[in-house]
Amino acid sequence: MRRTLFEEVHEDFRASFRTVLQREVVGGEGRYGEWEREGIVPREVFASAGRGGFVAMAVPERYGGAGAEDFRFNLVIGEECQAAGVGSFGLGLTLQNDICLPYFLSYCDERQRERWLPGIASGELITALAMTEPGIGSDLAAMSTSAIREGEHFLVNGSKTFITNGINADLVILAAKTDPRERHRGISLLMIERGMEGFERSRKLEKIGQHAQDTAELSFSDVRVPVSNLLGEEGKGFVYLVSNLPQERLSIAASAVAAAEAALSWTLEYVRERRAFGQPIGSFQSSRFTLAELRSEVDIARVYIDRCAQALDAGELTAEDAAAAKWSTTELQGRVVDRCLQLFGGYGYMLEYPIARAWADARVTRIYGGTNEIMKEIVGRSLGL
């Protein structure tokens, strides 16, 4: 189905990003396979993407950004990374552009903006968002990392885990309890900066997929964080998280649909070539039915995601719409990559094939950004039951 979401300017942006991706990540000088083995994308790649205008596009021009407050540009980045089979590289960028940046744009005061936005837009400052702890994930209000005010500092103690960009990050948006007696109302957001004394990163965590992503544990031991690193107001952290999560979930959902589309296109190509019993395997009725079902489901999901993107840009995307998008598309992604992998036979299980990596990369999308059970809770609560 013809998409009507994008205009010429987005397609030009897509073409430029695709060229850079081919040159610097996938082929040419690209070393994606090496990054997957090393479990991290080199920092210079973010800076190079920044020079190309592909990082934090929404940063206003006066801070060195493009001032493009248009989520369609963000979608292009995630979609192209999935289409090129480099989703775990894309995750680092979409985390910066779609998930972390809104906190800087919405809650930083002028002095903080001047300090951080230019480096974020240039890709020289890499960002992360740290909510999850070893003891809690879904139940954020039960977090135990504390930030106790002592004069002009907060004294931060605790640990966070599964943090995307955790090793590369220069700026970590930390959710911590400034009032440990409270649940939601005790949470504040603080900016942790690279090099602060008492802030340590663990080894990179070993995952079943997303191999180029430097997911890490972070620990905080008597870290003295200046009060000037508080984002917005004390005690409002949970409200800020809740208001930004719909964009985070839409980002995950859009990448899920793009990943499913990519899997489908690799599979269509493969089943045309691969033969069994004297005919292309795509010509068996069971293959055609499978691919017809997947094609239909992906197209239908795409329309919903495009509509959500319009709603986001219009300031109308609700928590329920975004939750519905996230759970349904990530379940779809899981089904699509699994059924496509089956059509590759034994080759589908070999990591040299993008479908194998896409299958492993897909599993986490049903977990992070809020598990799909929590997404259904959000939708379910709105039904007045």
Ligand X SMILES: Cc1cc2nc3c(=O)[nH]c(=O)nc-3n(C[C@H](O)[C@H](O)[C@H](O)COP(=O)(O)OP(=O)(O)OC[C@H]3O[C@@H](n4cnc5c(N)ncnc54)[C@H](O)[C@@H]3O)c2cc1C
Interacting residues with ligand X (CB under 6 A): 129-132, 136-138, 162-164, 207, 210, 215, 364, 367-368, 370-371, 373-374, 377
Token pair of 302 as six digits: 């795409």
DSSP 97: I
Which residue of the chain is nearest ligand X when measured via CB? 137
- For residue 196, the minimal CB distance to ligand X (Å) is 19
Token pair of 7 as six digits: 């205009």
Q: In the complex with ligand X, which residue's Cβ is closer, 268 or 374?
A: 374
Q: In the complex with ligand X, which residue's Cβ is closer, 309 or 362?
A: 362
Q: In the complex with ligand X, which residue's Cβ is closer, 56 or 311?
A: 56
Question: Exposed (0-12), middle (13-18) or buried (19+): which is 352, by Cβ within 10 Å?
Answer: exposed
94 in Cβ contact with 255 (< 8 Å): yes
Name residues whose C-beta falls within 8 Å of residue 267's C-beta, 6 or more positions apart in sequence. 291, 340, 343, 344, 355
Q: In the complex with ligand X, which residue's Cβ is closer, 299 or 331?
A: 331
Q: How many residues does the chain have?
A: 385
Instruction: Enumerate the H helices of 1-86 as residue ranges.
Output: 8-21, 32-38, 43-51, 71-83
DSSP 316: -
Backbone angles phi, psi at 203, to 5 degrees: -60, 165
Q: In the complex with ligand X, which residue's Cβ is closer, 282 or 370?
A: 370
- For residue 225, the minimal CB distance to ligand X (Å) is 18
For the chain, what is the radius of gyration of the CA atoms?
21
| Nearest one of 139, 324, 322 to 243, comparing CA atoms | 322
Token pair of 225 as six digits: 């964080």
For 109, other C-beta atoms within 10 Å of its C-beta total 12
Using the structure block, give the residue that is written with the tokens 């899997």: 263
- For residue 147, the minimal CB distance to ligand X (Å) is 16
| Candidate list 248, 316, 320, 373, residue with the active-site label | 248
Q: In the complex with ligand X, which residue's Cβ is closer, 8 or 206?
A: 206
For 353, other C-beta atoms within 10 Å of its C-beta total 18
| Chain centroid to CA 333 | 15
- For residue 82, the minimal CB distance to ligand X (Å) is 16
- For residue 23, the minimal CB distance to ligand X (Å) is 27
Helix (H) and strand (E) counts in the chain: 12, 10
Q: In the complex with ligand X, which residue's Cβ is closer, 16 or 371?
A: 371
Cα–Cα dist 281/271, whole Å: 5
248 is an active site residue: yes
- For residue 246, the minimal CB distance to ligand X (Å) is 15
Q: Which residues are catalytic?
A: 248
